[in-house]
Structure 1
């Protein structure tokens, strides 16, 4: 294990003292011994410092702009987003650190998440038109900033492998994924790692190995896009294979960029043998790693220190917040020992991009693409008889979420017409995906509908029994913390139990039920009925459901193993837009659930 500078000085002093004693015992002096053996007082080993900067989960945010509201991005914490902000921050950091003493990497989820990235995947796709195909805004911005490498995230596969390959060709930096394995060759389908050189005056280069890893859940979440083409083994398992290879290839330092959280619960349960968030396990069990840029979980981690169980060495982990809100900075101190650079110190911290202005060069670079998307999202697609807000959706049955359910149920019913399942009742799953979604009274623009369904999910249909529907709802009701009888209602702490995100809280449209939050998990769904009568546990129902959930995302019971009877390749967001265009008018009287669901405590409704 390399010594830090304090240990090195102490060791040198001890060696010097031992030399003096030995010389005295031989009848001479330390000075005489030094004259006879000048190499016994070696010069201190050369040292150097450099930094690795990292982003993750940028999700198509190039500019500080919210395409759903058509305004500059802002939130309650006054965060800013986008690579234009990151560009300014990186420029400042390179000036401080030294342009030749820093590297810039990303931990994945680059090309999905905004209407900007969607536009260049579906409206003007980058994999159509050959040399005339448009350039992806994320490639343009990341090339301009000068990224050295990026790991693939699971959302890179949302639009299919051909579009991902087109994006890869447009990037001036490699996309890394040591655990995205080609099904035919059993070899990595993308570069597993690269080695970057830091030039040191009058000394050997520092060779920094950058190993990229992605999330095994891709095999579930994007099964339709990757099945038969790629497999995705475990993060820690594949790191154990490749870290020695990176070292053997000459790397002095190993930096891992991984689209996996540190130690969060796994959303796909036991459907895969590998955990979803394995960066902590990897750091603890795989020797040879110096630091890890973490992604996927959208949390901010300045610095997490994990001791490797095999070497006793400390591994430094950091995760910057999503969407370009933050950047992680890893500062390395190294020492040249016997011709190789060894790490003596690593620290990390996270920096906020809202402290800087957007880089005007990035803004200008993407002006044409930005203008095209602004025009696209501002198309009028219909009208609404009243304003519909999602703000109360976690606490009350609101019509705007029923709209999602209605569109999905209607689409599946039409898809099943003429089949053996046409006479089964159709229910639909929906969730409050975006707490800021709002459909105004009057004109409805494309961005209003798109803001209601912010993910690129597609629609599927499975067959479940009434008993399985109840199990599904019981699982969903784990979203609420227990509220004792007589305790005050605090909405700030009522939801998101065990850090469950809003997108993993499902309503089921087409049935009525109460959620008794005074009861323990597993015993909360009461008065479950269909068309005014208690639901038949043995009755069969069709559940319209998004592909993420149908493939096991969120680990909801029964759906991943249920009989799937229908699928669509069109995004639910587009289906909703087309539904509004066809109807011409959004009127809650056409779809609002009655009575729907409600929160109760010991049978008493929490809200009137």
Structure 2
């Protein structure tokens, strides 16, 4: 009996000696898009709504709260603001370090994942920029097209020493593995085709996570530049976190790409999601918005047993830079602001170069409900470019030339300040970038009239279906539909009947076979023949994407090496040279079909600014009555279509 008791006590003592509890905080930034400074370079003024220099203060506070922390970035770092373009312009200089890495090196990042937009300027530039990072960059599902080897390190196993809850030091090998959307092969085809291949995220994780465990990783954190939806995983999915969360051996997931906030109310009804704890299928997860407007925080409680470390509890949250009243909660980190001083002023000068004169204001306040000057000028420039490019091509120059663009800045991301605002008078490159923020290149597609109609049907999915007999308030715009998918095609005329159900969802998947929103589609006053061919000037992202009808590599007839926004800037310069100014007046080639119900109460949200009010009064093609400013800061108007 005594011997049994001694053995039992000894065993308990050994278990106690072996057991340990460790609290580990994982901090994430993602989708910064070179918004390192708290500055809006499009409007040339400071902002307190985003910027890593402000996020750094939140990160410092979050680190000070705990004994153990790690800091990661989840991609889409190098492209997306004028500072990114400025970085490209300086990258050939001796000793150049990308502005983002100047700051992140000082902040002490542990590892960074790559996102799809980090490939927008090409692999050579990406590699050059990464030379300035004093921390590893990983990407597991991008392979060399010739050898099948990983182009970047697929994962990192980092030996760390942390302090447990008893005050003892504990060694812990933390594994990080990075993923990005395999769609980069379409989106950046001109840079990547024949050079790399991209693999399915979940398949890659299923192969490599066990390998990481075998190599000694105590825990595995997935850096997934991919978002979440609750549908079952499909091969090569863009939003793959649902499937990724079900891969054995992954202890936590930091997300990105979708520019959403998780945990958050938008996900509360999704299967497998626990909003309170911040888990997906039981796995701790976080996604902190975009542009540094949030930081991601995952708190893990680890217990050490004879079998190793195990996550026994967790909590996730996305901490915002601003409060519910949109007022800042923190100030910028003064040291980081000082480090960026030269690059900041350099960026301002870079985008401040004059390129022409505008005969009127170019605002996007109404771009979602009527034809709009901010889209018109982009499409005018694209049509002009293609007309000159195919002038001597007998196979193409007889075909009608159309152009497509979308409202890149029309209140997207639920931001009432996110609108294009180009003033009358002198134009600079800043204005061209405001009108066209991305370094896309121009690509020409050859499509049929039937494909043209289906393309427009998918774009028309941005509208809610309206009950024409109701007098109750109805919102015109479905805020779940991305603004950048609301394609406007110039060169034809059409109407959109919002009383009909959407034919397609926001992924251009057919959902109502009999539905038709596009009415009176015509070219030069005649109904469009479904078999007639058209040229469509688009960007490479749209052209190769394959989502909209008529898109995909098989439809491409001409690919320009020039960026769409450089084409726009050149158009502005030539118009100004030839006639003293450029005019961007909308030609109103599309409209919402009239609804004959005087009691109809349709609602539309736009900027609350006095400038927007004046523009609406002067240019709205429908009667609009201001009602109130909502909790998100948008001005809500009643719109009359009768």
TM-score of the two chains, using structure 1 as the length reference: 0.86
Q: Deviation of residue 508 (structure 1)?
A: 0.7
**Is the CA contact (8 Å cut-off) linking 1:462 and 1:544 kept in structure 2?**
yes
Match of 2:51 in 1: 82
2:66 alignment partner in structure 1: 97
Residues 70-219 of structure 1: pairs in structure 2 closer than 5 A: 70-73=44-47, 80-98=49-67, 101-121=68-88, 123-124=89-90, 126=91, 128-129=92-93, 132-200=94-162, 204-219=170-185
Q: Does residue 67 of the first structure (1) align with residue 41 of the second (2)?
A: yes
Counterpart Cα distance in 1 of 2:320 and 2:453: 44
Q: Which has the higher helix share?
A: 1
Measured after TM superposition, the shift of residue 306 of structure 1 is: 4.9
Unaligned runs of 5+ in 1: 1-22, 75-79
Give the superposition deviation at 1:562.
4.5
Distance 1:264 1:336, change over 3 A: closer
What's the CA shift for 1:246? Answer: 1.1
**Equivalent in the alignment of 1:455:** 438
2:347 is aligned to 373
Structure 1 residue 589, shift from structure 2 partner = 9.1
Sort the Cα spacing of 1:106 and 1:602 in 2 relative to 1 into closer, same or farther, 3 A: same
RMSD between aligned residues: 2.6
Match of 2:250 in 1: 289
Asked if the contact 1:83/1:142 (under 8 Å) is kept, the reply is: no
Whether 1:517 aligns to 2:492 is no
**1:315 shift after superposition:** 1.0
- Counterparts of 1:450-529 in structure 2, within 5 Å, are 450-487=433-470, 493-496=475-478, 499-522=480-503, 523-529=516-522
Deviations 1:5-29 (A, max 9, x none): xxxxxxxxxxxxxxxxxx5xxxx7x
Instruction: Give CA-to-partner distance per residue, 1:363-399, whole Å, 9 cap, x none.
Output: 1111001101111222222222221211101101123
Instruction: Output the CA distance in 1 between the equivalents of 2:440 and 2:586.
Output: 23
Instruction: Give the 3 Å change call, closer, same or farther, for CA 444–591 of structure 1 in structure 2.
Output: closer
Q: CA deviation at 1:353?
A: 2.7
Residue matched to 1:41 = 12
Change (3 A) 1:591 1:538: farther
Distance 1:289-1:587 versus aligned 2 partners, 3 A rule:
farther
Look up the SS of the partner of 1:205 in the other structure: strand
Cα distance change on mapping 1:542 and 1:40 into 2, 3 Å:
closer
Moved more, 396-405 or 597-606: 597-606
Instruction: Tell me whether 155-164 or 422-431 shows the greater mean CA deviation.
Output: 422-431
- Equivalent residue in structure 2 for 1:441, among 416, 424, 427: 424
2:262 maps to 301
For 2:580 and 2:467, locate their aligned partners in 1 and report how far apart those are by CA, in whole Å: 38
Alignment correspondent of 1:4: none
Q: Distance in 2 between matches of 1:68 and 1:145?
A: 27
1:352 has 2:320 as partner: yes
C-alpha deviation, 1:591, in angstroms: 5.8
Equivalent residue, structure 2, for 1:326: 294
In structure 1, the residue matched to 2:631 is: none
Distance 1:488 1:148, change over 3 A: farther
Point out the structure with max Rg over C-alpha: 1
Deviations 1:196-253 (A, max 9, x none): 2331465540111111111111111111111111111111110001110111111111
The structure-2 alpha-carbon separation of the partners of 1:587 and 1:503, relative to structure 1 and needing over 3 Å to count, comes to farther
SS in 1 for 2:28: strand
Give the Cα–Cα distance (whole angstroms) in 2 for the partners of residues 52 and 225 of structure 1. 33
State the alpha-carbon separation in 2 of the partners of residues 215 and 61 from structure 1.
22
Distance 1:72 1:607 in 2: 38
The Cα shift of 1:607 comes to 4.3
Distance 1:330 1:187 in 2: 32
Q: Is contact 2:595–2:641 with CA below 8 Å preserved after alignment? A: no
1:317 aligned to 2:307?
Answer: no
Partner of 2:544: 551
2: CA distance between counterparts of 1:520 and 1:40?
Answer: 68
The residue aligned with 1:388 is: 362
CA contact (8 A) 2:360 2:583 kept: no
| Distance in 1 between residues matched to 2:335 and 2:197, nearest whole Å | 39
Q: 1:341 to 1:263 in 2, by over 3 A?
A: same
Q: In structure 2, how many angstroms separate the alpha carbons of the residues matched to 1:603 and 1:551? A: 40
Which residue number in structure 2 is paired with residue 342 of structure 1?
A: 310
Q: Distance in 2 between matches of 1:408 and 1:352?
A: 39
Distance 2:582 2:75 in 1: 43
Shift in alpha-carbon separation, 1:36–1:380, aligned structure 2, 3 A: closer
Is contact 1:496-1:502 (8 Å) kept? no
The number of residue pairs the alignment matches comes to 556
Change in CA separation of 1:430 and 1:41 when aligned onto 2, cut-off 3 Å: closer
After superposition, give the CA deviation of every residue in 1:86-107 in whole Å (9 maximum; x if it has no partner): 2222222222213xx1110011
| Secondary structure, aligned partner of 1:41 | helix
Q: Any residues of structure 2 matched to 1:230-309 within 5 Å, and which?
A: 230-263=196-229, 273-284=235-246, 286-302=247-263, 306=272
**Secondary structure of the corresponding residue to residue 447 of structure 1:** helix
What's the counterpart of residue 374 of structure 2?
400
Alignment check: 8 A CA contact 2:177 2:221 kept: yes
Per-residue Cα deviation, 1:268-303 (whole angstroms, up to 9, x for no partner): xx9x9411101111112x101111000100000037
Partner of 1:428: 403
| DSSP-derived class of the 2:291 partner | coil
CA contact 1:178–1:238 (8 Å) conserved in 2: yes
